[in-house]
Amino acid sequence: MPTDFSKYIAKSNGLTLKEHTNDVLFAGRKLVETLSLTEDEKKKWLDKIERVAVLHDLGKAHQMFQASLFGKNELAIRHEIFSLWYCLNYLELGEDELFAIATHHRGVSTGVVETDKKRLQKEQLKEHFEQLVELDKAILTKMFLIDWLDENSLKLKLKQGDDIEVPISKRWQRILKKNSQGSEFDKTQRWELAKTRGLLIAADHIGSAQIQNEIPTPRLLKIADFQPTKDGVFFPFRKFQTDLQTLKGDVILHAPTGSGKTEAALSWIYANQTPNARIFYTLPYTASINAMVVRLKQIYGDDSNLVTALHSKSLDFFYDEAEEETLNYVEREEKAKNKKSFSKELFYPIKVTTLHQILKNALMGKGWDMALFDYQNALFVFDEFHTYDPLITGMMMATVNWLRKSFDAKIMFMSATIPEFILDKLIDNCFEGNKSVIKRPNPIVASDAEILGRKRHRLICISKRQIRDNYELIEQAIESGKLVLIIVNNVASCQEIYTYFKEYSPVLLHGGLHRKDRKVNEGKITNSNKEKRPKLLIATQAVEVSLDIDYEVAFIENAPIDALIQRLGRVNRAGKMPQCAEVYIFENSMGNIEKIYNKKVCEDTFRELSRLDSKELTEGDLIDVCNIVYIDGYSDNTDREDFDSGYRNDIINNFNERLIAGHWENWIEGLLEKSKSKIDVLCGNCFSEYVMLLENGQNIDAYQLFVQIYFWESEDIQRVISEKKTYKDKSEKYNILIADDLEYEDGFGYKKKLDSNGQFL
């Protein structure tokens, strides 16, 4: 009599093993249909996913797993190891498929086989397995397996005889150990192991969430999707944009801010897209990523579910997005977490992301095995790539070589600000010295010449002075009714200026705001009704990102020329003012910037800009300054060493040789060790609100109270880092960093806390 499989449960919610298997099988088939594969590859992977999907959770039928769903698992072993046991004893199955089944929940280990509670050593493993086999002889038979295959209409080759091996072969014990896999498989075989594992994991996650019916089907971009319109009438593209619509292959686009680089990128995507090939649009800042997601969703219209955000703070973005669907905190949080999870995997074909998310896979961070499908034939746009420090720039170039070589990916670099030495490094290190990949607007073509010869700013350099020394200039600009932008180099300066001009109802935008306030303020400055936007914006370099803002006069602290070019892009952005906008550059900063910027680069920048004092600037003027400032490339040995270290990164450059299927690196420590990264902390006076939100089930709202600081800004945090442990009970209980010497003021940001005598703590 055939086995009744309806009694076997796969999930604690009562979902049966058969139901879950069907969900995973459907998800796997749909994924394969939406990946960039040839017909032969598609058939191969459809066959594989059918086999591994049907078999991956068979071990859940063991009565010990069934008991574990109700909290009883005294003799438990991981169910996927029992699934492997079935296959090894009774089936002729490919080793990559066996490996995927055995590791679809956990990777390879340094021990032998892990149970649900501990790692078993050799002498313990056989006895443990024998007990489990003895305990449930009814299901550990070939006939049970045959019934399961029949139940799922799957025909597989069975091994002859009924002899079984307890527990699993010594060879497979070695394969499941990190340090032994290389001796069992060559690099090509390990790549195949990883791909099969990645595909099963993706299908299992989607099937477990029961969103297999929502997997989006990619579609090709059409020119009409992104051609600018007004009142239903199409605007003509500029010549350099039109050229990109027929350019096949890699490209470096060097074009001014406000020239239509996004349309240019979409033109290149249009020319190089192939059916089901994924698109990765990288930007350096989360605000610009979120804005680009919204824009691409508008472009794709009814197919907007093709597009997602992928960055470290995307949970906030998805949480805000879900507010349109439900006001229930629990439902919003669940939707947001699902979107964040599947943004990392194979679900979405268009991902707007940070470079770090690409580096994570090149450095074998967790989930890299799914990238082996995601990156195949993919298109990568690296926008505003000039912003990265030398270490990350080196890693980026090494990663581009990996993407081109391993996945036949096509690459577009794009920026308004590319120092000549960076351009040379790109050409030499990534494109074999082929300068023909560089594309720029053509000065002899009218539509391109318009943006190259455009003069948007009149430069006024103020030597030896700070912004606070010339507040009367700012007051005059405000009183005249102009839209005024002030950009300084650190949070404290931003707050000081805000306090002075508070009567003019300014808005702040800086890194010292927590995500809750940042979201509110970004909403104000990008309001669709431009009349409601603030007349005075006071910001740090946070304003350099690709936000859709446009001011009429600016007061800016000196910074490296590439940063200043981005800041100038927020003033008279489209060049439509009747006269050039006045931009004041102040040589001296109100705060210490030596930990943020290279002192020599800043000095060289102001010196060269001073030669242009009172001049109306063209894009060419700014590019010339940029090239002079960086004429010697990276200015000191540390920068050069950092770049070389990134470019020669051993993991990226020897990815195929080093890969161990089912193993991932703790990449983040190595990546950020030398970078000027910030950390998330909770200001002391926000702790009670944080706890209240947690207790109310508003976990994401609670997390949005954190601010990002440099570790040196808080003595409390320095103490935590130096001791490498939490120093207060409440920090330890909630596993967070709390800075009691910082306090938060709504709309203003974090600041040093004062004691009763007015002294900093």
Task: Indicate the SS3 state at residue 739.
Answer: strand
- How far is 648 from 397, CA to CA, in rounded Å? 10
Mean pLDDT within 685-712: 88
Average pLDDT over residues 217-224: 94
H helices present in 661-724, as ranges: 667-672, 687-695, 699-703, 715-723
pLDDT of 368: 94
Q: What are the pLDDT digits (tens) for 63-85? A: 888 888 877 766 567 888 889 98
pLDDT surpasses 90 at 224 = yes
pLDDT number for residue 716: 78
Sketch out the chain's domains with CATH numbers. Answer: 5-214 (1.10.3210), 223-449 (3.40.50.300), 455-617 (3.40.50.300), 679-752 (no CATH)
User: What's the pLDDT tens digit per position in 438-449?
Assistant: 999 998 998 888
Least confident residue range of 253-262, 439-448, 623-632, 707-716: 707-716
Buried b (16+ CB within 10 A) or exposed e, 578-604: eebbbbbbbbbbbbebeebbbeebbeb
Place 673 in a pLDDT band, splitting at 50, 70 and 90: very low
Nearest to 110 by CA among 177, 182, 169, 173: 177
Give every CB contact of residue 616 below 8 A, 6+ residues apart in sequence: 455, 457, 458, 459, 580
3 state SS of 238: coil
Q: Per-residue pLDDT for 669 more than 60?
A: no
- Whether pLDDT at 222 is above 90: yes
* pTM value > 0.85: yes
Q: What is residue 235's three-state secondary structure?
A: coil
What are the contacts of 724-733 at 24+ separation with CB within 8 A?
A: 730/687
pLDDT of residue 754: 64
